[in-house]
Amino acid sequence: MIRISTSTLIKLIFSFLFILSFASHAQDSLKTKKNSASQMNMDAAVNKPSLTSDKSPVTLGGYLEANSIYSTEEGISDGLSFQARRLTLFMSANIAKRISFMTELEIEDGGEEMAIEFAAIDVTLDPLLNFRGGIVMNPIGAFNQNHDGPKWEFVERPDMAVNMLAATLSNAGFGAYGKTYAGNWIFGYEAYVTNGFDNTIISNEEDKTYLPSAKENPERFMENHSGKATFTGKVSIKNRNLGELGISYMGGTYNKFEDDGEEIEDKARLDVFALDFNTTIKATNTTIIGEAAWSWIDIPSTYTQQYGEKQFGAFVDVVQPIYQNKVLEWENASLNFAARFDYVDWNIGKFKETNTNIGDERIAVTPAISFRPTPGTVFRINYRYQWDTDVINNPAEEAATWYFGFSTYF
Amino acid sequence: MKTYLNFVILILGIVFFSSCELTATGEPEEYELLDGPTEGLSKAESRRFVLGDVAFNDQIFTTETGLGPIFTGTSCVSCHAGDGKGHPFNGFTRFGQSDETGNHFLDQGGPQLQNKALPGYEPENLPSGAPHTKLVAPIVTGLGFLEAVTDDYLLSLQDPNDLDDDGIRGVVHWNHIPDYVKPHVDAVTQNGMYITRFGKKASVYNLLEQTADAYNQDIGITSVYEPYDTYSGDMQEPEIDEKTVNDVVFYLKTLKAPIQRNQDDPNVIAGQQVFETIDCAKCHLPEMQTGYSPIDAISNKTFHPYTDLLLHDMGPELDDGYTEGTATSAQWRTAPLWGLGLSGDSQGNAYYLMHDGRAHSIQQAIMLHGGEAINSRNMYENLSDEEKNKLLAFLESL
């Protein structure tokens, strides 16, 4: 994500609102662009609910997320807080036939973090071959592609996505994507070369190998820390009746091994492999979403074992609608039960000195109740119970958290 | 429908707001934890305790904040998880001194081997022929009480000539102290040396020296107290401010003394009697008194550390050939036993006892005692299994 100044952001927001005001005087329609049955996770970056006008090639939209939180850790609570997690603004434009533009501006934590999360131009040569360049989302796993708050029944994002992979990871770069259809089957791919990670992934205040720390680097959209491109690629296959399966890879050199032409470190790389799937069991209307990822990171043998060379993480969401009908004036309201299981092991291996397992793991379960007056708006109550084991494998620290919040497209 | 929805919302609201307390995690009992402040701190002292707590437990050093470039740990907590004993993976090696003539390897990186390095740097290697020992980090709770014990009190515990003929001598460690360390007003001196008491060899005078040295030697962090970079040897601008160092010192001073568990258990009571019968208590003193301290909560208090803070010759099995200050290589400071039963909570549900973690159980640790403790070890060996189990129950209650 690119960090931008507050004044620039305010200008962007005013511009956005101005365009929104203009567009709303036209014949408005809030709609998704295409039939959801033909959509895949890869389409989420550009296929969002948006306000369109017959008089303008520009579409506008966004979403807002806010919640209350009450957490206790080892019996100690800091009390009740209210969080304005993020306000995200979308804007897209059809520049010309076969050329379009889309951007996503995100303001997180009440304005503490402001970023351009996605801003790319798409040039369609063929449905199977589209060029995309700008600030692109690295398609590692499905959550990174498809993370809009209103789509999920949970206030927190999956641990694997946020704290192992770098959720909403985007970088400057370019590449290609495409889709093709055959009966009920859809095949899609994405492949990009972008700027990559940096040394902070193995030297950070989390005291663990932590890919998300690279998102803190404000220079990463202007300069590739390692000087070597990171490749991210994903292939997905979807059957309209069975669901979608995605396989993705991201890898490259992450460290600055040369400076001013001098070799200052051994070259070190990271490789990440992810599997994702989602399906809806038609008989029960149960939706299951899951993702697993493995990462391998080169770490010098003379560095501390605090930083892991291998990581694994996974999450599974199960969402069961229990009531779907008209409520008040909402025609397609639904009440859902849901549950999430999170697991991350940031440091797979054994200590050299004792041959005992290295810890640094997290397990969390989150039962949830959500109410959707419309598909694009969700009110949710979550209860999350989490077990954190430190690197030495001492008894886990337990934390319990209640959330009540909402997320809505607009 | 509207009534139904209102009912659902009402129920969910009641469940949500009434569940917060009911579904919270349980709070561990005070006696199950090593961390936490000494009872009786003022509000201002509690505030400072929290500042030190954050610096000790939350501040992770990175390349940007001064870590290394050669080091043994990345933070205080990486070696003292939960303020308890350390794990061998973050153990460290000291080298370069075999007798009271001093460390002859200071120009080769002594006394501590920084065996880890940032990418692009080479860690230190043990110089050929250097005397050395491996160490695991000690428990850090209750240190303020140990610091507040007067020199006169420690001198009264000595028996250098074994006048009571029990085979146990015990001596204070006379050692030089750094310029930045201010001796206590009632400090006793001898030939320009002071009574030091912290560290496995009791070679460190007070918690400021211990803290500044640990930042420097363990993490590679320079301060106004220890301004020399361990890698280059050059004097550097402080990488941590003086206030933070002193907040950590205050935190260590005011960490509570571990609380004994199961004190009313008959086996624990019987085990304590065994402990005294076989003379363990002659060195692992069950009770000590502090002198005056500007912190009321630790001033003139009785506490239960199970140490005498004296050096004892522990025999050839524990003589690694390395020493510090004026101690001999066979001499070790009596390790405080408080918190022993909670070692597993900081050592990954395992025991790594003695100075280097070589003992994987309390029984093994006892059997490694030699030298001045040989009589106690022999008496332990002659105990019945039942007596041994009671002794174990007592030690695990500490």
If you count residue pairs, one on A and one on B, with CB atoms under 8 Å apart, how many are there?
A: 126
B188 pLDDT exceeds 50?
yes
Which residues have a Cβ under 8 Å from the Cβ of A36 and sit 6 or more positions away? none
Decide if A154 contacts A340 (C-beta within 8 A).
Answer: yes
Q: How far apart are the first and last CA of chain A?
A: 22
What distance in Å separates the CA atoms of residue A335 and residue A354, rounded to the nearest whole number? 51
Helices (H), ranges, B1-61: 2-22, 43-57
For chain A, give the mean pLDDT. Answer: 89
Cβ-defined contact of B20 to A402 (cutoff 8 Å) = yes
Q: What pLDDT band is residue A27 in, cutting at 50, 70 and 90?
A: very low
Residue of B6, B9, B11, B16 to mutate, testing the A interface (most A Cβ within 10 Å of its Cβ): B16
Distances (CA, A) of A135 to A91, A119, A177, B92, B283: 14, 5, 15, 46, 68
CA distance A68 to A401: 10
- In the predicted model, is pLDDT for residue B7 greater than 70? no
**Peptide bond between residue B111 and the one before it cis (omega within 30 degrees of 0):** yes
C-alpha distance across the termini of chain B, in Å:
63
Least confident of B5-19, B72-86, B341-355, B373-387: B5-19
- pLDDT, residue A28, reads 40
d(CA B159, CA B373): 14
Contact B345, B328 (CB under 8 A): no
Predicted pLDDT of residue B181? 96
Give dist(CA B225, CA B207) in Å, integer.
12
Query: Which of B59, B76, B87 to mutate to test binding with chain A, by most A CBs within 10 Å of its CB?
Result: B87
Residue B152's pLDDT is 96
Give the model confidence (pLDDT) of A174-183 as tens digits.
999 999 999 9
Lowest-confidence pick of B9-23, B194-208, B288-302: B9-23
A234-279 pLDDT tens trace: 999 999 999 999 999 999 999 999 998 899 999 999 999 999 999 9
Question: CB B119 to CB A303 under 8 A?
Answer: yes
Q: Which of residues 72-101 of B touch A (CB under 8 A)?
A: 73-75, 78, 81-82, 87-91
Alpha carbon separation from B334 to B183, B283, B284 (Å, rounded): 23, 7, 7
Assign A118 a pLDDT band (cuts: 50, 70, 90): very high
What is the structure's pLDDT at B16?
58
**For residue B6, what pLDDT is reported?**
62
pLDDT at B302 over 60: yes
Most B CBs within 10 A among A335, A354, A366, A381, hence the mutation to make, goes to A354
pLDDT tens digits, one per residue of A34-49: 456 778 999 888 787 7
CA atoms of A196 and A305, how far apart (whole Å): 24
Biggest CA pair distance of chain A: 70
Cβ separation A383–B78 shorter than 8 A: no
* CA-angle at A251, arms to A247 and A256, nearest 5°: 165
B3 touches chain A (CB under 8 A): no
C-alpha B178/C-alpha A161 separation (Å) is 50
Tell me which residue of A352, A278, A350 sits closest to A316, measured CA to CA. A278
Which chain B residue shows the shortest CA-CA distance from A327?
B1
Chain B residues touching A73 at Cβ < 8 A: 25
A26 band by pLDDT with thresholds 50, 70 and 90: very low
Q: How far is CA A321 from the centre of its chain?
A: 24
**Does the distance separating the beta carbons of B12 and A381 come in below 8 Å?**
yes
**Contact assignment for B74 to A400 by CB distance below 8 Å:** no
pLDDT value of residue A203 = 94
pLDDT of residue A23: 45
CB distance B395 to B359 below 8 Å:
no
C-alpha R_g of chain A: 22
Answer for the pair A75, B24: CB distance below 8 angstroms, yes or no.
Answer: yes
A29, pLDDT greater than 90: no
Whether the CB-CB separation of A57 and A67 falls below 8 Å is answered with no
Tokens of A11: 């200008």
- pLDDT over 60 at A156, yes or no: yes
Partners of B360 on chain A (C-beta within 8 Å) are: none
Output the pLDDT for position A113.
79
Are the Cβ atoms of B123 and A398 closer than 8 angstroms?
no
Look-up of token digits 């962090």: B221
**C-alpha to C-alpha distance for B85 and B347, rounded to whole angstroms:** 7
The per-residue DSSP string of B269-287 comes to HHHHHHHHHTTGGGTS-S-
Instruction: Please state, in angstroms and as integers, the Cα–Cα distance from residue A143 to each residue in A271, A276, A380, following that order.
Output: 18, 9, 19
| pLDDT, tens digit (0-9, with 9 covering 90-100), for B306-315 | 999 999 999 9
In chain A, % of residues over pLDDT 90 = 76
Please give the structure tokens belonging to residue A33. Answer: 């662009």
3-state secondary structure of A389: strand
Which residue, chain included where needed, has tokens 């402001």?
A114
Residue (of B143, B158, B275, B128) closest to B214 by Cα position: B143
Average of per-residue pLDDT across A350-372? 96
Place of tokens 């199960």: A318
Give the DSSP H or E segment for A19: helix A6-25
Alpha-carbon distance of A409 to A50, in angstroms, equals 8
Token code pair at residue B251: 């935190």
Give me the count of residues in chain B.
Answer: 398
> Residue B69, preceding bond cis, omega within 30 degrees?
yes
Burial B187-218, CB ≥16 within 10 A → b, else e? ebeeeebbbbbbbbbbbbbbbbbbbbbbbbbb
Mean pLDDT of B120-149: 96
Note whether A352 contacts B: Cβ–Cβ < 8 A.
yes
Tokens 């001999």 correspond to what residue?
B328
DSSP assignment string, A98-155: TEEEEEEEEEEGGGTEEEEEEEEEEEEEETTEEEEEEEEE--STTTTTS--GGG-S-S
SS (H, E, C) A169-236: CEEEEEEEEEEEEECCEEEEEEEEEECCCCHHHHCCCCCCCCHHHHHHCCCCCCCCCCCCCEEEEEEE
The answer to whether residue A5 scores a pLDDT higher than 80 is no
Q: Is B348 helix (H, G, I), strand (E, B) or coil?
A: coil
What are residue A316's DSSP bridge partners? A290, A341
**Do residues B198 and B207 make contact, with C-beta atoms less than 8 angstroms apart?**
yes
- pLDDT of A112 reads 78
**Chain A (49-78) residues lying within 8 Å, Cβ to Cβ, of chain B:** 70, 72-77
pLDDT exceeds 50 at position A33:
no
Q: In chain B, which residue ranges form alpha helices assigned H by DSSP?
A: 2-22, 43-57, 143-147, 151-157, 207-214, 242-254, 266-277, 362-367, 374-381, 385-397
What pLDDT score was predicted for residue A21?
Answer: 45
Half-sphere exposure of residue A382: CA atoms within 13 angstroms, side-chain side:
30
Domain at A2-409: CATH code: 2.40.160.10
Q: How far apart are CA A306 and CA A308, in angstroms?
A: 6
- B347 in A contact zone (CB under 8 Å): yes
- Mean of pLDDT values over B294-298: 96
Instruction: Report CA Rg, chain B.
Output: 23
- Quote the pLDDT of residue B69: 96
What is the distance between the alpha carbons of residues B42 and B44, in angstroms, rounded to a whole number? 5
Given a cut of 60, whether residue A32 has pLDDT beyond it is: no
Q: Output the six-digit token pair for A257.
A: 């091994």
Tokens matching residue A64: 């807002």
Residue B43, both tokens: 């509000």
Enter the ipTM. 0.88
Angle (CA) A354 A360 A361, round 5°: 125
The verdict on A404 touching B (C-beta cutoff 8 Å) is yes
A269-323 pLDDT, tens per residue?
999 999 999 999 999 999 999 999 999 999 999 999 999 999 999 999 999 999 9
Which sign, positive or negative, has the C-alpha torsion B231, B237, B240, B246? positive
Distances (CA, A) of A227 to A6, A113, A252, B269: 30, 27, 10, 67
Query: B117–A300: do the CB atoms touch at under 8 Å?
Result: yes
Domain ranges of chain A: 2-409
Q: Nearest residue of B to residue A395 by CA position? A: B345
pLDDT confidence tier of residue B356, bands split at 50, 70 and 90: very high
